[in-house]
Amino acid sequence: MSTTTKTLDFQTDPTRYRHWKLEVRPPIAELKMDVRENAGVFGGYELKLNSYDIGVDIELNDAIQRLRFEHPEVRAVILSSAKGNMFCAGANIRMLGVAGHGHKVNFCKFTNETRNSIEDASEFSGQRYLCAINGTAAGGGYELALATDYLILIDDGNAAVALPEVPLLAVLPGTGGLTRVVDKRKVRRDRADIFCAVEEGIKGKRAVEWRLVDEVVPSSRFKPRVEEKALELAALSDRPVDAKGISLTPLQRTITADEIHYPHLEIRINRTEQHAVLNIQGPADAAPASAKDAEAQGANWYVLALARELDDAILHLRFNEPAIGTLIFKSSGDSSLAMSHDHFMNSAADDWFVRETRLYWKRVLKRLDLTSRTLFALIEPGSCFAGFLAEVLFAMDRSYMLAGNFQDDPRPEATLILSAGNFGPYPMSNGLTRLQTRFLGEPETLVKAATLIDQPLNAEQADAAGLITAALDDIDWEDEIRLLLEERRSFSPDACTGMEANLRFPGPETLETKIFGRLTAWQNWIFQRPNAVGEKGALKLYGTGQQPVYDRERV
Amino acid sequence: MSTTTKTLDFQTDPTRYRHWKLEVRPPIAELKMDVRENAGVFGGYELKLNSYDIGVDIELNDAIQRLRFEHPEVRAVILSSAKGNMFCAGANIRMLGVAGHGHKVNFCKFTNETRNSIEDASEFSGQRYLCAINGTAAGGGYELALATDYLILIDDGNAAVALPEVPLLAVLPGTGGLTRVVDKRKVRRDRADIFCAVEEGIKGKRAVEWRLVDEVVPSSRFKPRVEEKALELAALSDRPVDAKGISLTPLQRTITADEIHYPHLEIRINRTEQHAVLNIQGPADAAPASAKDAEAQGANWYVLALARELDDAILHLRFNEPAIGTLIFKSSGDSSLAMSHDHFMNSAADDWFVRETRLYWKRVLKRLDLTSRTLFALIEPGSCFAGFLAEVLFAMDRSYMLAGNFQDDPRPEATLILSAGNFGPYPMSNGLTRLQTRFLGEPETLVKAATLIDQPLNAEQADAAGLITAALDDIDWEDEIRLLLEERRSFSPDACTGMEANLRFPGPETLETKIFGRLTAWQNWIFQRPNAVGEKGALKLYGTGQQPVYDRERV
């Protein structure tokens, strides 16, 4: 098996699921994990005991998305297992043992994002998740449960929750487990320390006492109690009763050697220069006339369509193009049409479908923030970085804007337009908007930016308002950009990743930033240490019966 | 050179400084960096251009401590350089190139703690730091400047501030630079990104505009302006005008093969079991009668003496005993005498010397929190974990307390006593007290704990109050503790380090926790990557004229 040469596809749909069963019985849906052992993405390992690889999580991610868009009638989701005594054994260890470092890191990042999207649905979308832990939930299995609002553990004398990574594998729980245990569930730290040392986990009353689960219920009463609690959670939902779902139709996508085409996004990869240009096409039409109209457009509505395409593209680049170190964002289109969609979203924000679409745009932007590639934007004549599209600029490490025009270029001068959308609906994982984060040191500039809403700003105005990194004129443009890209390419990819992870998230930290900033970085470190991945490391020897041999020095 | 076999000593005094000149001219002191090239701790490299190794920082740490205790008359400290055009070139790169991973990590941790202690002096001790950047401040040199309250850069056409680590060395600035740039100085993130890419740094007006320094001043007016600003900062101080300094007399310490003895702390190292027992001796006498009395006792006052001993011991164990993975804290003495010192500190908290001592105790506890060893406490008969000494327990990963007595043991039953000292004066780096952190999920237990102040609690009471991990009886004690230690020793040291770093700091994040949690973890990761430390890595090839060869894949 090779985890770096196999191309991963993040598109799927329920008819193709091999590992999950989705039952919809409004107002509840049940998502049952039923991993097919011999259907690992890479081959060479068996997905026993509901353990998972990226393929299982791609389906989970898809199911969560579809529940939000296709099932407005679903107000609570039960996560459960279709296997007997095992809820989920976590990430497949043999897969981890043979996977390359890059795949492990990206795998953990994606699974984390998927779990965050469960919390996002519970918090903002009126679709609360409940975990029916009907068998042991170990490692990533318990971490999956931790992402839900309410954990009910079956009391059958066997089933336990566990984070056995440290004693068993010499790595950390990689999907937010440590952070969620002490920060979300607020387990006392010495108890958390014990919990993480007990390979077989904790069950029964003590699991409740220690706040590891919310309830334990005997086998005989388990099913009805889960159903009852799900209905209770469903009753809290603000989802409309009469809405019809939006079908997430298959993405139109063409992937060739160095290009990827979607209807609203074109990607050209320059392998020599190791960068990719992502050109966002602005909308061809004005916004829907009403929420009903937007619902009629469904997956064809520009904003949702673009969100899906960009989301897919980021994941594709992360997993399938690891050597493409810099992503260059451009746009082309009519800013006034983009603004029309922005205004529409603002005015129809209460509609369930518009709300879902905005929440999705928020998550796509977060996925961009968390992508360990250098992010540059080039704002050129004919671009349409306006409102929600301008938000892409504020996710960049740097943005350069052309002042004036190129010679003989008929396209209109580049402008940037702010909207209310840049001041609230798309917060970063640190809880602040990108402009709040940008202007942490100069709140007066943030106040001033709010007065510029709806005004097309040219390069000088955008520069004066602090909204771009620099304005360049047409004489310097080509050389300057070329030099900047060459410079970036001369740096160590690892150093860039570390630097960007530290500069992008100033200000407050949240559960999410802790998971991605603190926990992930420690996990990455451990994933490289001989004690885990060396010839005598725990991850390598797992299942062989041999004991790992550790270098005993602490660093 | 070997960075792991050389024993480091953290004790020094100004008569022995080789790298710093301390001038005291009240209300100002000037601390001039003047690194002696051929006086590197390990040998094999030259400390050119005011670059530093751990030896230089040990002296800096000593100077900062002495300024606080020995010089109440000093109200502002100027950090400057005695070299011509170079303020400080940062950590010595050849030293980093040959140092082992463990030394690099511990070196960065210690230098970070030293810079934090500068900020602590500025914020709490009425001793504000000002940086006279009278030459280029690069890498760790600029990071040192960033720890001060006010940065004045000389405008001589050459001097710049720079963080050239990413372009030059393929690592991150390791002493909080990235975090302080965006979080303390709140530099706009795209500017920070550019700043970190410009090897030669930024100077003049732009350095001020970008908030990298507070002021640039032409050479001719530099000295008087620095003096003027220092006096301005000094005027804000609340240090007493008539106080006499406390001499930090040499520590009494005996180090033998497996034991370290201080007057109030005994350490026994068990190399087979890879743990050390640190036994804190309680005070032999009641507290000083007054602040004057405490000042007369000076460095012999129990609390200050113990703080110095414990501080030294932690550093010794970190650097010189890397294979000792678990630190077991015990205490023996008279709890009522410990409480007498605690009450005294509470009532005399406004006295400058008592304040300094408490601030020091706070920093020692923080150093303990940040020590990457498993921390266990055993609370046995005859122990004196009371008030400020009980705070040690709340820094532990786990604490076990004996219920009742051992057979034929005449020592009094173990008790634990809370005081006001556990509810405020010694916050962790997350800004919360250890009890607030412990009871994040059960604030009612915190409220209840406050009602237990001054009451000796036996094991059952302490357990019921949630203050210990578990109470064990004498029949189980020996076996249980042995098994726990064996279990911990069977885990990967790296996994323990990562796990502890994530479980110890729930709740809010601060500049400090970001530096130690996020930045350090990323730096540790990068410090292991071939792009930095491999045969063709930037750190290895620095100064050879050869270009590093990077694996271009992003992870």
B522 touches A at CB < 8 Å:
yes
Give the nearest chain A residue to B109 (CA atoms): A555
- Selection from A495, A471, A467 nearest residue A481 by Cα: A471
User: How far is it, in rounded angstroms, from Cα B259 to Cα B324?
Assistant: 13
User: How far is it, in rounded angstroms, from Cα B107 to Cα B51?
Assistant: 14
Considering the domain architecture, whether residues B227 and B335 belong to the same structural domain is answered as no
Q: What is the three-class DSSP state of B484?
A: helix
Which tens digit of pLDDT belongs to each residue from B309-355?
A: 999 999 999 999 999 999 999 999 999 999 999 999 999 999 999 99
Q: For residue B326, give the DSSP letter.
A: E
Considering the domain architecture, whether residues A155 and A217 belong to the same structural domain is answered as yes
Q: Could you tell me the CA-to-CA distances from B268 to B253, B271, B398 in Å, in that order?
A: 14, 9, 20
A333 touches B at CB < 8 Å:
no
Q: Do B190 and A396 touch (CB under 8 A)?
A: yes
Q: Do A503 and B193 touch (CB under 8 A)?
A: yes
- Taking the CA of residue B297 and the nearest CA in chain A, the distance in Å comes to 38
B-contacting residues in A 136-165 (Cβ below 8 Å): 165
What's the domain count of chain A?
A: 2
Tokens at residue B55, please?
């030896």
Give the nearest chain B residue to A550 (CA atoms): B492
Q: ipTM strictly over 0.85? A: yes
Q: Do B494 and A274 touch (CB under 8 A)?
A: no
User: How far is it, in rounded angstroms, from Cα A523 to Cα B521?
Assistant: 9
Determine how many CB atoms are found less than 10 A away from the CB of residue B36.
13
Considering the domain architecture, whether residues A82 and A51 belong to the same structural domain is answered as yes
Q: Which residues of B touch A537 (CB under 8 A)?
A: 492
Q: Do A165 and B495 touch (CB under 8 A)?
A: yes
Domain limit, last residue, from A234, A266, A289 = A234
Q: Which residues of B touch A498 (CB under 8 A)?
A: 172, 522-523, 525-526
Tokens at residue B174, please?
């390791």
Strand partners, A265: A262, A280
Tokens at residue A173, please?
């729980």
B500 touches A at CB < 8 Å:
yes
Q: Do B492 and A532 touch (CB under 8 A)?
A: yes
Q: What is the three-class DSSP state of B138?
A: strand
Confirm if A523 and A104 have CB atoms less than 8 A apart. Answer: no
Helices (H), B8-100: 54-70, 93-98
B416 Cβ neighbours under 8 A, 6+ residues apart? B379, B385, B386, B390, B393, B401, B456, B457, B462, B467, B468
User: How far is it, in rounded angstroms, from Cα B272 to Cα B331?
Assistant: 23
A172 touches B at CB < 8 Å:
yes
Domain limit, last residue, from B234, B269, B294 = B234
Determine how many CB atoms are found less than 10 A away from the CB of residue A162.
25
Across the beta sheet with A254-255, what order do the strands follow? A254-255, A259-262, A265-270, A275-281, A326-332, A374-379, A398-403, A470-473
A179 touches B at CB < 8 Å:
yes
Give the nearest chain A residue to B106 (CA atoms): A555
Q: Which residues of B touch A488 (CB under 8 A)?
A: 197
Nearest to A492 among B324, B506, B532 (CB): B532
Residue B249 lies in a domain: no
**Strands B150-155 and B128-133, sheet pairing:** parallel
Give the nearest chain A residue to B469 (CA atoms): A190
User: How far is it, in rounded angstroms, from Cα B350 to Cα B353?
Assistant: 9
Q: Do B181 and A503 touch (CB under 8 A)?
A: yes
Give the nearest chain A residue to B539 (CA atoms): A492
A259 touches B at CB < 8 Å:
no
Q: Do B494 and A555 touch (CB under 8 A)?
A: yes
- Taking the CA of residue A248 and the nearest CA in chain B, the distance in Å comes to 30
Q: Do B529 and A494 touch (CB under 8 A)?
A: yes
Residue B156 lies in a domain: yes
Give the position of tokens 């004057």. Answer: B292
User: How far is it, in rounded angstroms, from Cα B503 to Cα A183?
Assistant: 9
Q: Which residues of B touch A139 (CB under 8 A)?
A: none
Residue B228 lies in a domain: yes
Q: What is the pLDDT along chain A (555 residues), one digit of tens a residue?
A: 455 568 999 999 999 999 999 999 999 999 999 999 999 999 889 999 999 999 999 999 999 999 999 999 999 999 999 998 999 999 999 999 889 999 999 999 999 999 999 999 999 999 999 999 999 999 999 999 999 999 999 999 999 999 999 999 999 998 999 999 999 999 999 999 999 999 999 999 999 999 999 999 999 999 999 999 999 999 999 999 999 999 999 999 999 999 999 999 999 999 999 999 999 999 999 999 999 999 999 999 999 999 999 999 999 999 999 999 999 999 999 999 999 999 999 999 999 999 999 999 999 999 999 999 999 999 999 999 999 999 999 999 999 999 999 999 999 999 999 999 999 999 999 999 999 999 999 999 999 999 999 999 999 999 999 999 999 999 999 999 999 999 999 999 999 999 999 999 999 999 999 999 999 999 999 999 999 999 999 998 998 999 999 999 998
Q: What is the three-class DSSP state of B160?
A: coil
The secondary element (H helix, E strand) that includes residue A488 is helix A474-490
- Taking the CA of residue B375 and the nearest CA in chain A, the distance in Å comes to 10
Residue B124 lies in a domain: yes
Per-state percent for chain B, helix, strand, coil, to nearest 5: 45, 15, 40
A-contacting residues in B 388-407 (Cβ below 8 Å): 396-399
Residue B5 lies in a domain: no
Considering the domain architecture, whether residues B34 and B182 belong to the same structural domain is answered as yes
Residue A528 lies in a domain: no
Counting one residue from A and one from B, how many pairs have CB atoms under 8 Å apart? 288
Considering the domain architecture, whether residues B230 and B335 belong to the same structural domain is answered as no
User: How far is it, in rounded angstroms, from Cα B264 to Cα B426?
Assistant: 21
- Selection from A115, A177, A430 nearest residue B498 by Cα: A177
B47 Cβ neighbours under 8 A, 6+ residues apart? B19, B35, B36, B37, B38, B39, B40, B53, B56, B92
Q: Which residues of B touch A197 (CB under 8 A)?
A: 487-488, 491
Nearest to B517 among A196, A488, A518 (CB): A518
Considering the domain architecture, whether residues A163 and A272 belong to the same structural domain is answered as no
Q: Do A493 and B274 touch (CB under 8 A)?
A: no
Q: Do B493 and A551 touch (CB under 8 A)?
A: yes
Q: Could you tell me the CA-to-CA distances from A367 to A11, A313, A419, B360 in Å, in that order?
A: 16, 11, 22, 43
What's the gap between Cα B14 and its chain centre?
20
The confidence score (pLDDT) of residue A452 equals 98
Residue type, A179: T
Considering the domain architecture, whether residues A220 and A263 belong to the same structural domain is answered as no
Sheet strands (E) in B147-210? 150-155, 161-162
Q: Do A532 and B372 touch (CB under 8 A)?
A: no
Nearest to A493 among B188, B323, B550 (CB): B550
**What CATH code is carried by the domain that includes residue B66?**
3.90.226.10
The secondary element (H helix, E strand) that includes residue B174 is none
User: How far is it, in rounded angstroms, from Cα B501 to Cα A517?
Assistant: 12
Confirm if B102 and B268 have CB atoms less than 8 A apart. Answer: no
The confidence score (pLDDT) of residue A1 equals 42
Tell me how many degrees the CA angle B444-B469-A201 measures, rounded to the nearest 5. 100
Q: What is the three-class DSSP state of B316?
A: helix
- Selection from B47, B46, B50, B55 nearest residue B3 by Cα: B55
Q: Could you tell me the CA-to-CA distances from B203 to A398, B217, B549 in Å, in that order?
A: 21, 11, 31
B462: exposed, middle or buried (C-beta count within 10 Å: 0-12, 13-18, 19+)?
Answer: buried
Q: Which residues of B touch A185 (CB under 8 A)?
A: 441
Considering the domain architecture, whether residues A294 and A196 belong to the same structural domain is answered as no
Considering the domain architecture, whether residues B229 and B337 belong to the same structural domain is answered as no
A-contacting residues in B 534-553 (Cβ below 8 Å): 538, 548, 550-553
Confirm if B274 and B325 have CB atoms less than 8 A apart. Answer: yes
Give the position of tokens 């043992």. Answer: A97
User: How far is it, in rounded angstroms, from Cα A485 to Cα A289?
Assistant: 42
- Taking the CA of residue B149 and the nearest CA in chain A, the distance in Å comes to 16
Residue B460 lies in a domain: yes
Residue type, B373: R
The secondary element (H helix, E strand) that includes residue B385 is strand B385-386
- Taking the CA of residue B367 and the nearest CA in chain A, the distance in Å comes to 15
B471 touches A at CB < 8 Å:
no
Residue B345 lies in a domain: yes
Q: What is the DSSP string of A42-106?
A: SSSS--GGGEE-HHHHHHHHHHHHHHHHH-TT--EEEEEESSSSEEE-EE-HHHHHHS-HHHHHH
Which of B522, B531, B533, B552 to mutate: most A Cβ within 10 Å? B522
Q: Which residues of A touch B514 (CB under 8 A)?
A: 509, 517
Tokens at residue B209, please?
């505009």
Which of A185, A208, A518 to mutate: most B Cβ within 10 Å? A518
User: How far is it, in rounded angstroms, from Cα A31 to Cα A132?
Assistant: 10
The confidence score (pLDDT) of residue A43 equals 87
Q: What is the DSSP string of A531-548?
A: HHHSTTSHHHHTTSSPPP
Considering the domain architecture, whether residues B309 and B229 belong to the same structural domain is answered as no
- Taking the CA of residue B31 and the nearest CA in chain A, the distance in Å comes to 30
Considering the domain architecture, whether residues B327 and B408 belong to the same structural domain is answered as yes
B186 touches A at CB < 8 Å:
yes
The range of the structural domain enclosing residue A56 comes to: 14-234
Nearest to A494 among B187, B325, B526 (CB): B526
Q: What is the three-class DSSP state of B370?
A: coil
Give the nearest chain A residue to B443 (CA atoms): A186
Q: Which residues of A touch B507 (CB under 8 A)?
A: 183
Give the nearest chain B residue to A326 (CA atoms): B554
Helices (H), A217-334: 219-234, 291-297, 302-320
Q: What is the mean pLDDT, run by run of 10 residues, along chain B of 555 residues?
A: 74 98 98 97 94 98 98 98 95 92 96 98 98 98 98 97 96 95 98 97 97 98 98 97 96 97 98 97 98 98 98 98 97 98 97 98 98 98 98 98 94 97 98 98 97 98 98 96 97 96 96 93 93 93 92 92
Q: Do A440 and B170 touch (CB under 8 A)?
A: no
What's the gap between Cα B426 and its chain centre?
14
Is this prediction's pTM over 0.90? yes
Give the position of tokens 């430390």. Answer: B533
Q: Which residues of B touch A165 (CB under 8 A)?
A: 495
B206 touches A at CB < 8 Å:
no
Give the nearest chain A residue to B489 (CA atoms): A552
Tell me how many degrees the CA angle A174-A365-A471 measures, rounded to the nearest 5. 125
Considering the domain architecture, whether residues A230 and A261 belong to the same structural domain is answered as no
B412 touches A at CB < 8 Å:
no
User: How far is it, in rounded angstroms, from Cα B283 to Cα B380?
Assistant: 17
Strand partners, B51: B90
Sheet strands (E) in B433-500? 470-473
